[in-house]
Structures are given as structure tokens and as C-alpha cells.
Chains A and B, each alone.
Chain A
Amino acid sequence: NAGVTQTPKFRILKIGQSMTLQCTQDMNHNYMYWYRQDPGMGLKLIYYSVGAGITDKGEVPNGYNVSRSTTEDFPLRLELAAPSQTSVYFCASSPTTDSPLHFGNGTRLTVT
């Protein structure tokens, strides 16, 4: 049972490039989340999904897009990378909203 798997672990992007952060879970969880973590700022919710085909904005959605075509996968897309998107990104999932989150190991992204 792999849990929540994020790829890549590290990535360096140039300003204006695009990329997709992958997230997949094998626990059949309905709820999936993308957070970014910056020093002193805690975790900020970017986007979340309550099930396949349903996504919604979190606290800081600008500059990002998501899709949820299957229960397992919840990729996060950066279309035009900016230095402000340098961060550590965590994907998480849970079966219900009152269940603890299962986190992936994170993706450290640097935009220069």
C-alpha cells in the first residue's frame, strides 16, 4: 500500500516554463488536496477535490490549475512559473472531511 505518491521530488524551473506535479493515491479516498508550504507561513491550500470530476479553489489558487479525472490522480499544473511559486508542495488525501490527512512526501520546486 503506497499511500500518497508525489512526483517529482525536486524540480528547478525557469520563469515562464510550465510543469505538472503528479499526485496519486491508492486508498480510494474521495478528498484530495494540494498545499504549498513556505517558511513562517504554514500550509496554504491551493486547490482541493471532493471526488472525481469535482475541484474547487482553496486559499491561494492563482497561477495553478488542477484536474481530477479519476479518484486516484490529482495533478497540479503550473502554466507560467513565477519566482513566487518557489515552495514545497504537498498533496494529501482523506476518505472524509473529519478524517486525518494522508500526506505525500512533497515536491520541492524552485523557480529562477
Chain B
Amino acid sequence: AQSVSQHNHHVILSEAASLELGCNYSYGGTVNLFWYVQYPGQHLQLLLKYFSGDPLVKGIKGFEAEFIKSKFSFNLRKPSVQWSDTAEYFCAVNGNTDKLIFGTGTRLQVFP
């Protein structure tokens, strides 16, 4: 069965710091990978997605993620965070099934 692990549960950064959030999945076949963001009081919104092709994908608001197949990873990065990036971030995987499985989320707090 497919599963998703996000090892960073709570990350605290100052503005302008660099961000990397880990995401690992377990599934041996072809995968579709997603990062979603949930701002306080709102529902989830798509940040970026990977289906095939260039393993480095760029999303909205300066976020990017790199798919490393050999490591079963899809880490999210941003070179310089802003206070407005304070939110919860969810990695999700669809491994050639109809189910989209989410990780437990990483809460990011950015202080000015």
C-alpha cells in the first residue's frame, strides 16, 4: 500500500531563511506527487505537482520540489521564506491508483 511520510512536524524560521521540507513515499511504481498548502482557516491549495519529465518542478510563490526516484523523495524548497508563508504544508502521492494519500503535514511558522 502506498504511504507518505513527512518527518518535519513543526518548522520555525526567520524571514529570508531557506526552507526544505522532507517528503518520502513508499510505492514501487509510477507516482504522481503533489505539495499542497493550507493557510490558517482555509482549505488546501495546490503548490506544485510532478507527473513526469524534469524532476525539478517549480510551483507558485517561489516554491520548488525535486523528485529523486532512488530516494523515494519529493522535498519542497524555497530559497527565502516570507512571513506570509506561515501555513501547513502537505505532501501527497497517487501511486497509479485512484487514491490520493496525504502525509501528516508540516506546520511552518515564519517570524519577521
Q: How far is the CB of A85 from chain B (nearest CB, A)?
A: 19
A106 — which chain B residues lie within 8 A by C-beta? 43
Cross-chain contact B90 with A100 (CB below 8 angstroms): no
Q: Is A53 an interface residue (CB 8 A)?
A: no
Cross-chain contact A40 with B34 (CB below 8 angstroms): no
In the complex, A33 Cα to B3 Cα: how many Å?
Answer: 17
Cross-chain contact B105 with A42 (CB below 8 angstroms): yes
Indicate which residue in A45, A90, A97 contacts B32 across the interface (CB closer than 8 Å).
A97
Q: Is A79 an interface residue (CB 8 A)?
A: no
Cross-chain contact B99 with A45 (CB below 8 angstroms): yes
> A79-112 interface mask toward B, CB cutoff 8 Å, 1 = contact, 0 = none?
0000000000010000001101101111000000
A97 — which chain B residues lie within 8 A by C-beta? 32, 94, 97-98, 100
Contact-size category for A:
20 to 34
Cross-chain contact B100 with A45 (CB below 8 angstroms): yes
Using known A-B contacts A90-B43, A103-B44, determine if residue A40 contacts B98 with beta carbons closer than 8 Å. Answer: no
Q: Is B101 an interface residue (CB 8 A)?
A: yes
B53-112 residues with Cβ-Cβ distance < 8 A to A are 90, 94, 97-105
Q: How far is the CB of A102 from chain B (nearest CB, A)?
A: 9
Cross-chain contact B9 with A40 (CB below 8 angstroms): yes
Task: Select from chain B the residue with minimum beta-carbon distance to A38.
Answer: B104
B45 — which chain A residues lie within 8 A by C-beta? 103
Indicate which residue in B46, B97, B104 contacts A42 across the interface (CB closer than 8 Å).
B104
Cross-chain contact B100 with A33 (CB below 8 angstroms): yes
Using known A-B contacts A42-B104, A103-B43, determine if residue A98 contacts B32 with beta carbons closer than 8 Å. Answer: yes
A contacts, CB < 8 Å to B = 31, 33, 35, 40-45, 48, 50, 56, 58-59, 90, 97-98, 100-101, 103-106
Q: List 5 A-B contacts (CB under 8 A).
A: A43-B102, A45-B102, A90-B44, A103-B44, A103-B45
